[in-house]
Amino acid sequence: MERFGKQALITHENGSRVVVGVDIGGTEIAAGLVNGEGEISHDARPQC
Amino acid sequence: MLTMGAPANSLAAVSAAIRGLFAEAASQSRILAIGICAPGPLNPETGVIINPPNLAVWHHYPLAEEMRRLYQVPVQVDNDANAAALAEAKLGGGPWLSSANMPVRLGEDENGPGTGNQPYLRYNHQHTSVSRNSVHDKAAQLDQPVQKGQARRRRAGYQDIPVGQKGRQSRRNHDRKIRADVEPPPGILRSTGLPIRLMNVCFLDCAVCEQCASWCGKSSEARNVF
């Protein structure tokens, strides 16, 4: 994520811009919203 | 994940996972950037998935470019093991946080991804490999012992990788082809800002540092590349 620069790391869920993280595995895909501290604030793993 | 068929179908699956994060499709306009970790080998500079054995659907597939086209935002793709290393360095609680050395194992592993020279991790202090599954699975796997051999490969979803003597040769040939395509890029590891110690180790010709000695019973010099 650091390649996006500091601006991209300032993310919030309260209606402002967010950064999406996606983990593609061999059997499923997980996605999450990532906050400015690199923590997953909301995630979903619906796709197999 | 659709591992066979048309590449666009797997791309659609990725988009569906992202859609699942938002209550309304319109809110996807809030996306500022997308970071993707995927099995290697891949090129993190171009975002091209090269030829991962467990994602045969994407062969030299420009994943980052396709995602940029869909979402019109910056997209960064990197190896899943690199991403896990970055997460561990930034947010993890491993012993390297006190020792200022984060052990990262690079190299081939008979029981590894089958793709040879792609970077992957083995948290030697926990005898745990985290190279092969999703980030969530990695987290869940941290306390699990390494399981060697064919059974482990199959449990990890590598039924399509040939096994046995001919299978090993086949994988080596596959590895050589990968090496010709791309070198493993450690760039994201550098981005942790931590003094990361990379250990060029091979499961079959083990060369490890003292931190691994208790793990495999051998020891030799480690190579600090940063």
- H or E stretch at B103: strand B102-106
Structural tokens at position B3:
């591992």
Answer yes or no: do B35 and A31 touch at CB < 8 A: no
If you average pLDDT over residues B19-33, what whole number do you get?
Answer: 79
- Find the length of chain A: 48
Nearest to B90 among A3, A27, A38 (CB): A38
At B155-166, the pLDDT tens digits run 433 333 334 445
Question: Per CATH, the architecture of B7-78 is what?
Answer: 2-Layer Sandwich (3.30)
**φ/ψ bin of B52: left (φ > 0), alpha (ψ from -120 to 50), beta (otherwise):** beta
Longest dimension (CA), chain B: 56
Euclidean distance between CA atoms B82 and B88, whole angstroms = 10
Can you give the pLDDT at residue B44? 79
Chain A touched by B84 (CB under 8 Å): no
At B43-86, the pLDDT tens digits run 878 889 888 877 888 888 999 999 999 999 999 988 777 677 66
Domain residues of chain B, as ranges? 7-78, 81-216
Percent of chain B with pLDDT over 90: 10
Euclidean distance between CA atoms B183 and B174, whole angstroms = 14
Query: In 3D, which of B69, B29, B63, B25 has the Cα closest to residue B43?
Result: B63
**Do B37 and B79 contact (CB within 8 A), yes or no?**
yes
At B139-186, the pLDDT tens digits run 223 323 333 444 444 343 333 333 444 555 555 554 444 333 333 334
Query: In 3D, which of B25, B2, B97 has the Cα closest to residue A24?
Result: B2
**What is the least distance, in Å, from the CA of B7 to any CA of chain A?**
14
Nearest to B133 among A17, A25, A42 (CB): A25
Amino acid type, B91:
L
Domain residues of chain A, as ranges? 2-47
Answer yes or no: do B135 and A1 touch at CB < 8 A: no
Answer yes or no: do B1 and A2 touch at CB < 8 A: no
Can you give the pLDDT at residue B211? 38
**φ/ψ bin of B164: left (φ > 0), alpha (ψ from -120 to 50), beta (otherwise):** left
Chain A touched by B217 (CB under 8 Å): no
Answer yes or no: do A25 and B80 touch at CB < 8 A: yes
